[in-house]
Amino acid sequence: MELILLAGGVGKRMKQTIPKQLLLIGGKPIIIHTLERVDSIQAISKIIITTPAEYIDQLKNLVRKYKLKTPFIVIEGGGSRQESVKKGLEYVTSEHVMIHEAVRPFVLREEFEALIEMKDENVTLGLDIPFTVLEGKDKIEKILERSTLFNVQLPQKFSTKKLKIAHEFAEKEHKEFTEDASMIFYYLNEEVKVKKGTEYNIKVTTPIDMVIGEIIYKDFILGRSSV
């Protein structure tokens, strides 16, 4: 099983000049937290990292410095998340592919392994939504039933062939998706199973996430190791 790791951040929402995947949590770059977790999974045979051109060498050096064992390549991503996945798919040779984001460093090895072991072709991690979500921007347009919604997390696993087809459709129609489960569902009407994730698997996006991330790292990741 091969993995596309999206490392496309440029630090805009983080209000930093350093891209968020290279910011430090527990003194270690966020992407290394993520890569070390992936590196401990036997079933993952290759990692395809997509990143802006200016960070390619820096990422290669980082991965070498931490002596990660899983074979990897670092390629230039696209102008959007969707384009980066599409570019990454060109390098995938396995029947199924996993997609993950570098800035979700607190995913557990067990969560990856659970997705890999599931018989289903298309699976995403997801969480119940503990708050109310409504449709609209300046005014409420529609009430949404919370119990029917879920929070899409990563990693996700897909049939490589089907995901490639979905991306072809999306490119032709110039339609943008924020993640791939909805794309494959939309174009191929494929069943996408939802595997329950943990609330610790946050996406480090804004400055407050760095504060929360330090706590998760110390109390959940390290605390877990000490049990």
Partner 1 sequence: MSTCIITGASRGIGRAVAIELSKRKEIQDFILIARDSVKLEETKKLMAPHNEIHICAVDVGDIDELSKIVNWAGESFGSIDYLLNIAGYADPHSLIDTTNENWETTYKVNVQAPFVLIRESVPYMKEKGGVILNVASTAGITPRPGWLAYSSSKAAIISMSETLTDELMEYGIKVYCISPGRCATDLRRALAPDEDQSKIMQPSHVAKVISNMIFENENCLDGQNIIVRKPVLR
- Footprint on this chain of partner 1 (rule: CB under 8 A): 26-27, 36, 40, 66-67, 69, 218, 221-222, 225-226
The residue (of 40 and 198) whose beta carbon lies closer to partner 1 is: 40
Residue 44 burial (C-beta neighbours within 10 Å; 0-12, 13-18, 19+) = buried
The residue (of 116 and 221) whose beta carbon lies closer to partner 1 is: 221
The residue (of 26 and 78) whose beta carbon lies closer to partner 1 is: 26
Q: Do 115 and 155 form a contact (C-beta atoms < 8 A)?
A: yes
The residue (of 31 and 192) whose beta carbon lies closer to partner 1 is: 31
Cβ at position 172, least distance to partner 1 in Å:
44
Instruction: Please name the residues in contact with 32: beta carbons below 8 A apart, sequence gap of 6 or more.
Output: 62, 66
Q: CA-CA distance, 48 to 3, in Å (whole number)?
A: 6
Q: CA-CA distance, 97 to 100, in Å (whole number)?
A: 10
Of the CA atoms within 13 Å of residue 77, those in its CB half-sphere come to 24
Cα dihedral 158→160→165→169 (10° resolution):
60
Cβ at position 216, least distance to partner 1 in Å:
12
Cβ at position 158, least distance to partner 1 in Å:
28
Tokens, residue 65: 């410095």
Q: CA-CA distance, 9 to 23, in Å (whole number)?
A: 11
C-beta atoms surrounding 200 within 10 Å: 19
The residue (of 143 and 222) whose beta carbon lies closer to partner 1 is: 222
The residue (of 27 and 136) whose beta carbon lies closer to partner 1 is: 27
Cβ at position 30, least distance to partner 1 in Å:
14
Q: Using the structure block, give the residue that is written with the tokens 């191929």.
A: 188
